[in-house]
Amino acid sequence: MSQATVSKPEVATPFDVEAVRAEFPALHQEVHGWPLVYLDNAATTQKPRAVIEAVERFYTRDCSNIHRGVHTLAERATAAYEGARTRSARALGAASPEEVVLTHGTTESINLVARSFLLPRLAPGDEVAVSWMEHHANIVPWQIVCGEAGATVRPVAIDDRGVLDLDDLERALSPRTRMVAVSHVSNALGTVNPIRKIVEMARAHQVPVLVDGAQAVPHLPVDVQALGCDFYAFSGHKVYGPSGIGVLWGRREHLAEMPPMLGGGIMIRSVSFEGTTFADPPTRFEAGTPNIEGAAGLAAALDFLDGLDRPALAVHEESLIAHAVETLSAIPGVHLVGTAPERAAVISFTVDGIHPHDLGTLLDGRGVAVRAGHHCAQPVMKRFGVPATARASFALYNTHDEVEVLAEAVRQAQEMFGV
């Protein structure tokens, strides 16, 4: 397979990866007697001290429920929660915090759009265009609502490099298409999709676009207004924040038309036994007590990212990927799965004679943490004719020395298996 090409933006000073690593306590440990090499960042990222301290501060100082409380702790908690909404809006280039719904993660965000936005618009024979490279979270919700409405999920092809086939997307767009759902960055292949082009194509057919940005926000600048999409979702735990908190950005006019998915406290304007009226967006989509501490941690994570030299970070991550692609490709018997020319910090690969699960176990014995399996992307595995892959995914705190450790651990695994 061809090696991915890597573009490198100009940068005045190199990224200080050692200074950044010092902010992540979990990285400074041994696993099976070896220094931890954490390369499972597409599954979840480690947390900097700023995030850990933000969550601790909530529990030790500000712990209270949000909204309506008039005491000091309630006001602090509300400020932290709503501050996360404002901070997330800024991170996405949103026009207003009122366009940001705080959810439990990308999965809930996509389900909310599928059920509250799309389902009321679906009729028998309608279609939802979904790419072959999607995470299950961007496939299954559409299948569920299509099944209820008598509609169909129409898969959009990818080529042998893992690049979206835009000609097939054009063929998929028809008067019956009601949504295009696509990842900004593939979690299984690392492919960076041309979202603005995809949106332009969909717009020509008056079709809305939802973007799964879970793998993009940690690595790429995101401006939803420039992208032109209708919905954009990401998860806190992928972007150095806590688990159980996520973001859905939606166009104001769409959110205004959507009914709530869950009913309960907070999301109402008034309740009586004669009927209930709902709060305006985004509150109507946030029933019950939310993950307040997670929101505080998310805001801290986004602040942490914002405080870094992002151009230098981009060069650092791109150089890591180029190094890993070159080094792994040079090992006989190692095959990269997905070689898109535009890619982010994910490399999937197989090794002749070693099942990915066995490889993952052997690498763990050397202190190297990778993901092994189908990565919640079984259609991708089917497309490339493999049951599973090993996946090394990189973050801002990974180093070139760790790339070499990964490669050496793969070679040691081959020796153990005699391949």
Q: What is the pLDDT along the chain (419 residues), one digit of tens a residue?
A: 334 344 444 545 899 999 999 999 999 999 999 999 999 999 999 999 999 999 999 999 999 999 988 999 999 999 999 999 999 999 999 999 999 999 999 999 999 999 999 999 999 999 999 999 999 999 999 999 999 999 999 999 999 999 999 999 999 999 999 999 999 999 999 999 999 999 999 999 999 999 999 999 999 999 999 999 999 999 999 999 999 999 999 999 999 999 999 999 999 999 999 999 999 999 999 999 999 999 999 999 999 999 999 999 999 999 999 999 999 999 999 999 999 999 999 999 999 999 999 999 999 999 999 999 999 999 999 999 999 999 999 999 999 999 999 999 999 999 999 98
All domains of the chain, ordered by start, with CATH? 17-44+309-417 (3.90.1150.10), 52-306 (3.40.640.10)
Residues 333 and 86 sit within 8 Å (Cβ to Cβ): no
Which residues does 67 contact at the CB level (< 8 Å), separation at least 6? Answer: 74, 78, 266
* Catalytically annotated residue among 63, 146, 229, 376: 376
Number of neighbours of residue 14 by Cβ within 10 angstroms: 11
Residue 390, C-beta contacts closer than 8 angstroms, at least 6 positions apart: 348, 349, 350, 351, 356, 359, 360, 363, 370, 371, 372
Sign of CA dihedral 347, 351, 357, 361: negative
Distances (CA, A) of 377 to 135, 274, 339, 372: 5, 46, 17, 12
Q: pLDDT value at position 13?
A: 81
Q: Are 181 and 232 contacting, i.e. CB atoms less than 8 angstroms apart?
A: no
The DSSP bridge partners found for residue 74 are none
Quote the CA–CA distance of 314 and 149 in Å, as a whole number: 43
Crossing angle for the helix pair 400-417 and 356-365, nearest 10 degrees? Answer: 120
SS (H, E, C) 55-106: HHHHHHHHCCCCCCCCCHHHHHHHHHHHHHHHHHHHHHCCCCHHHEEEECCH
Q: CB-side exposure of 137: number of CA atoms within 13 Å?
A: 24
Any idea what DSSP says for residue 238? G
The confidence score (pLDDT) of residue 10 equals 53
**376 assigned to active site:** yes
Distance, CA of 294 to CA of 242 (rounded, Å): 5
CA angle 8, 11, 12 (to 5 degrees): 155
Q: What pairing do the DSSP bridges indicate for beta strands 389-393 and 346-351?
A: antiparallel
Cα-based angle 344, 338, 190 (whole degrees, multiple of 5): 20
- The pLDDT value recorded for residue 69 is 85
Residues 6+ apart with CB under 8 A from 272: none
Query: What confidence score (pLDDT) does residue 259 get?
Result: 97
What is the reported pLDDT for 2? 37
Please state the φ and ψ torsions of residue 30, each to the nearest 5 degrees.
Answer: -105, 145
